[in-house]
Structure 1
Amino acid sequence: MMAIGVNTMLSEEEYTKVAKEALIQYPIICEKLVYLGKSDNVTFRIHTNDDNRKFLLKIHISTSSIKSKGNIESELIWLEALDGDTDLVVPSPVRNLDGDLVIDISTDHSDNKLIVTIHHWVNGEVLNREPTRSETANLALLMAALHKHSMQWNVPEGFNRPIYNSDHLFSSLNQLKQLVNLELMSSEAFVYVEESAHKIANVIQSHERLQSNWGVIHSDLHESNYVFHGDIPRPIDFSNCGYGFYLFDIAETFLHLSVENRKIFIASYSKVNKLQENYLELLDAFFIWSIIRTFAFHSLNPIEQQSLAESFPTVIQDYFIKYINGEDFLLS
């Protein structure tokens, strides 16, 4: 969820050239390179002579601060640890011939170097629908496994990822305020958002950070960022991973689940990781925070601003006003 940068002007052919140049530095014999698309990364699927052995090549084109070489390397260090320490299937990174996780490739068009990474391909299907009851229970077990690893993992020195705290919340709030300036959201509606944000900030700041409730989280585990292999979910796209409350991670996923599936998720998750007594109160706050964060992200795209404006009155009524008034909305 970040702004797109200066390197987005290259053509598909030029990105293909960068990808081929990068591949020379890896212990991979590429049979076919398939262009997948461009968002905050340009991605290619690498096919080898073994159908079961594919790779994902990413050319990182965002200029956001969380896309610096050190930050990307930190993301891959966690993926490498998850691959080594757990049974989870994750897009683990491939080190190049010099043992590096991240490489730079120069282009003909800019003094800036492009950052390239390669991951093992994760087989599975994107759902494109609400998960079933059993799929939801397994999704909760996946998140519980990620959190359990994070609780026990000794974060290496220099590990550098975003921190999901009140500063992050207010950064999203300021971005969302642009919709008021563009007259796409009424100032009356924004008052509810702002009041909610201050209430949430108090929750964040008064909630003690412990090994059992705070650590490295995926922070973006929704239907586009996991695939199902049979009925087992596999997480993909860790590009927004960072430090945060484990309940914030759950709240992000709840944005994309029905009320019934949220209940199933909690029941399944709590079999592995015990939830604190006031978890519902915290989930309410973090769920509203997730809405602010998501709307702020989509507001960066002019094409999406009108549909955001149209959906906001309902979202204010169904969530923000209820949150301010202390009414139930998450599980009812």
Structure 2
Amino acid sequence: MFSEEDYTKVAKEALIQYPIIFSEIVYLGESDNVTFRVHTKDDNPKFLIKIHISKSSNYSKENIESELMWLEALNEDTGLVVPNPIRNLEGDLVTVISTDYNDNKFLVTVHQWVNGKVLNREPTSNETANLALLMAALHKHSMKWNAPDGFNRPIYNSDHLYSSLNQLKQLVNLELVSSEAFSYVEESAHKIAKMIERHKGEQCNWGIIHSDLHESNYVFYEDIPRPIDFSNCGYGFYLFDMAETFLHLSVENRKIFIKSYSKVNQLEENYIELLEAFFIWSIIRIFAFHSLNPNEQQSLAASLPSVIQHYFIKYSKGESFLFN
């Protein structure tokens, strides 16, 4: 186990390789990354440094570089404020740090700090409309952007869906969820997989998506939302991106989101059917992710029957639920 002090040493060693003269670094927390806010002698410029510690394949050097390539392109091509990456003195996006006290090598990135406030609540109607415009701008850029050679990010397809389903099924193997209840989850997943296979990915509906745009991953500067975490970005349907955000919005805010988004990008004729399928998929994905943590398995098992009742059974029966 690494301590905060250990990670601080890694962060300071990495910063030596950047054109940054720092006065202080402040520990922010640990999840898939260990993060620090970097202060300079100038009161305004601040940076974010990430030590990538996840064991996921998304965190290979190649995949991290690809994430940062899209961030650079967004910074150059749009008016969006994003955590633009800072290249090190060698011109690299990712810095590899070896330590004399451990055999591990750390992958480190540095980003421009994005000013704003985390809401810690559901957005207002006006904030929701602006959040929809943010997503629409990301998708508009994705439709036009030609990813460079070597660009490698996750693909959100039926294989990804089944991977999440198999992980979530561990709750059944642990006898925390009954096979009868889980059968509705499996039935829904098979129905969604068939839809994914039928739905052809085209420039207008498929591309690079944020894939995790919720209230912890954007901040508001005045009334304008700014995305701050692109670690789950990958190839997927634009409506899947929207459905994941809908997990965190009320029915009324979902309607506002649709109205605002459609002012920029045209929605497919059967968008409600697709959104409901992708909404169920998003539930499977988020439950599967949290089921990896043994400390969360009991609470997930306790809440899953209610979620199955409200969403999975309705979806299996063909009953609409997303805007009701």
Q: TM-score, normalised by structure 2?
A: 0.99
Partner residue of 1:273? 265
1:109 to partner: Cα distance: 4.0
* Letter aligned with residue 129 of structure 2: A
Structure 1 segment 73-84 matched on structure 2, within 5 A? 73-84=65-76
Are 1:307 and 2:288 matched, yes or no?
no
What are structure 1's unaligned runs of at least 5 residues? 1-8
* Letter aligned with residue 301 of structure 1: N
Partner residue of 1:110? 102
Q: Whole-Å Cα distance in 2 between the matches of residues 81 and 207 of structure 1?
A: 28
Q: Whole-Å Cα distance in 2 between the matches of residues 51 and 128 of structure 1?
A: 26
Q: Whole-Å Cα distance in 2 between the matches of residues 23 and 284 of structure 1?
A: 45
1:214 aligned residue (189, 196, 206): 206
1:284 to partner: Cα distance: 0.6
1:14 aligned residue (3, 6, 11): 6
2:288 aligned residue (292, 296, 321): 296
Q: Deviations over 1:290-321 (max 9, x none)?
A: 00000000111111111111111110110000
Partner residue of 1:124? 116
1:227 aligned residue (208, 219, 235): 219
Partner residue of 2:244? 252
Partner residue of 1:101? 93
1:64 to partner: Cα distance: 1.4
Are 1:316 and 2:308 matched, yes or no?
yes
Q: Whole-Å Cα distance in 1 between the matches of residues 101 and 261 of structure 2?
A: 49
* Letter aligned with residue 256 of structure 1: H
Are 1:166 and 2:162 matched, yes or no?
no
Q: Whole-Å Cα distance in 2 between the matches of residues 235 and 205 of structure 1?
A: 30
Q: Whole-Å Cα distance in 2 between the matches of residues 165 and 236 of structure 1?
A: 24
Partner residue of 1:263? 255
Partner residue of 2:320? 328
Partner residue of 1:195? 187
Partner residue of 1:35? 27
Query: Residue 51 of structure 2 aligns to a residue in which SS?
Result: strand
Q: TM-score, normalised by structure 1?
A: 0.97
Q: Whole-Å Cα distance in 1 between the matches of residues 75 and 240 of structure 2?
A: 23
Q: Whole-Å Cα distance in 2 between the matches of residues 163 and 116 of structure 1?
A: 24
* Letter aligned with residue 306 of structure 1: Q
1:285 to partner: Cα distance: 0.3
* Letter aligned with residue 248 of structure 1: F
Query: Residue 237 of structure 1 aligns to a residue in which SS?
Result: coil
Q: How many residues align?
A: 324
What are structure 2's unaligned runs of at least 5 residues? none
Are 1:135 and 2:146 matched, yes or no?
no
RMSD over equivalenced CA pairs, Å: 0.7
* Letter aligned with residue 5 of structure 2: E
Q: Whole-Å Cα distance in 2 between the matches of residues 158 and 95 of structure 1?
A: 18
1:89 to partner: Cα distance: 0.3
Deviant stretches of 4+, over 4 Å = none
